[in-house]
Amino acid sequence: MDAETALDDSYFDYCPWDFVDRASAGQRAAQDAHQRRLADSGARLGPRCYVSPAAGVFTGTLRLGADSYIAGHAYVTGEVTAGDDCTVNPYATVRGRITLGDGVRIGAHSSLLGFNHGFAPDRPVHRQPLTSKGITVGDDVWIGSHVVVLDGVTIGDHCVVGAGAVVTKDLAPWTVAAGNPARPLRDRRAQVGPRRDRAVSGALPGKLPDDLSDGPSGDQSGDLGDAVARFADRARAQAADLIARCWNPDTGRYTDRPGAPATVRAHCDAVEIADLLLGSPPEQLAADEHAERLRALQDPGSGLVPEFAPDGGPGVLPAPAADGWIDDGTAEYHVLAVGYALDLLGSRLTQPVHVVRRMTADQLLARLGSLPWRTRTWSAGAWVDCWATGAHRNLELGVEDGEPGALEALFGWLTTRVDPWTGMWGTAESPAAGRLQLVNGYYRLTRGSYAQFGLDVPYAERVVDTVLAHGRDQRWFTAGRENACNVLDVAHPLWLAGRRDGHRAAEVRAWAEEQLTRALGRWRDGAGFGFGPAGEGGGGPGREPGLQGTEMWLAIVWLLADLVGVADRLAYRPRGVHRPEPARSPGFATPG
């Protein structure tokens, strides 16, 4: 780490989760020395652990599994055994005989007190004998801030203990508990989502909208599957009108929403929405007219599709770079949008994506190495998405790459550059945005490469771990803050990577249930979905309902519903840009 990005030692006392990725060589050496001193006293620490030198650690037994940490000013004594991925946050107290499973989170200022004083009247308290039954905490448990857990308590797997609770009795697995003394509130598996203030959409994020629930007043016990089916019926009944409101008969083009300029993507979104909900092309044009207009947009020299000019005429692309590539983010996305819209219309591009066809394997590898993996991972992933989709389209047309092996070179480069600890590409993580760039870039990259070509993603369990951690980031995933891009970029990786072996399936389902309930409440009658607030650096069409927001959220609803197990109630399945199935079979062969 260079001097400009070096962090003060005290930073890791309070943000120990950043140590593995952000510590300098000197800080790592100091931590190694600290851990050796602990080991000399009998401690056993797994790989990638961090124990703050500012923590008071005076244990007879200390066992930490991999990727666990003890933050600054924590007080840890006695016999403490923890599994993998356990966290003791700043100012927490863990004393006595304590056993933690995997994935336990202990919030700041909380106390686990695995011992007790007697208080018989025959002697002063300070002379009373100590007893220690011990505390046992299962796997996947979140203990909030300022919680007190008393000796003899067992907290079952998957429990959540609310901030300020005092836990005096055992908690069964999956319990959500709070209060003093702590009382069970509900079972996590039955939780649709936490109740918070009314969201921007007008629906409580943890409560189904009144007209989508079973109960007469929006009873939260209403079945989510039935709510999904009612939503789909409503969307289907309104689909033709919401597409028509975005058609400008004077120009013969689609806009994202009334009053917005015409865009190529708006036309593609209209085709995708009509296919999803109506099973037919938008009624403004016949299918062959839609296809002819989209095919005509392809630039003959590059094979890309530029955006319309400000006056509505044909767009103009910038000059190519030294490797022949044309850097134009909108035109790059149109390789996806136009190609898949034509698929839905029973057509295809009329010519290859020449900028992909002409790129040699050496040029491809040089371009991959120059992408902004450290600072703008989303942009790097989007480029891979475009290039791989262009290669798919060229194979579809039976066109060979300019140099054999370029596509194989792409997957070889990706396979050797993936981070085995996160399952991701790039290191774009910051205190201001967290993992936003990292996860969003992962979705774009894998959509066009591994997902589109039907290949298994590497380190799938680590992907789920990273994406779930990001999905809990309150800056991006609280009611009123989510946008379609950010939710899609979590939902798709969870679907793609998590379905292989069910890793942390209960947590994935809980996250999906909460987001699905919120999504259903965002629908605006006659207008569809709004994209949502802009993310880091802006972007997206905003909160107003339009074709882009509607197309994306319809696909997101399907992904979330499938993660929950109710996708069949929608009676639709994405077939375009956000299709769940590969566009071609593994091996890069042209489909017969």
Could you give the 3-state DSSP secondary structure of residue 303?
coil
Please provide the DSSP assignment of 206-262 as one string.
TS--GGGSSSTT--TTS-HHHHHHHHHHHHHHHHHHHHHTTEETTTTEEBSSTTSPB
> Is 117 one of the annotated active-site residues of the chain?
yes
Cβ(68)–Cβ(86) under 8 Å?
yes
CA distance 13 to 553: 40
Answer whether 151's CB lies under 8 Å from 115's CB. Answer: yes
Does residue 274 contact residue 243 with C-beta atoms inside 8 Å?
A: yes
DSSP state of 478: S
Q: Are 271 and 281 in contact (CB under 8 A)?
A: yes
Q: What are phi and psi of 167, to 5 degrees?
A: -95, 110
Longest dimension (CA), the chain: 96
| Strands 87-88 vs 130-131: parallel, antiparallel or unpaired | unpaired
DSSP summary character for residue 383: H
Tell me how far apart the alpha carbons of residues 220 and 213 are, in angstroms, rounded to a whole number: 7
Using CA atoms, how far apart are residues 50 and 333, in angstroms rounded to an integer? Answer: 42
Choose the catalytic residue: 117, 334, 354, 503.
117
Residues labelled as active-site residues: 117
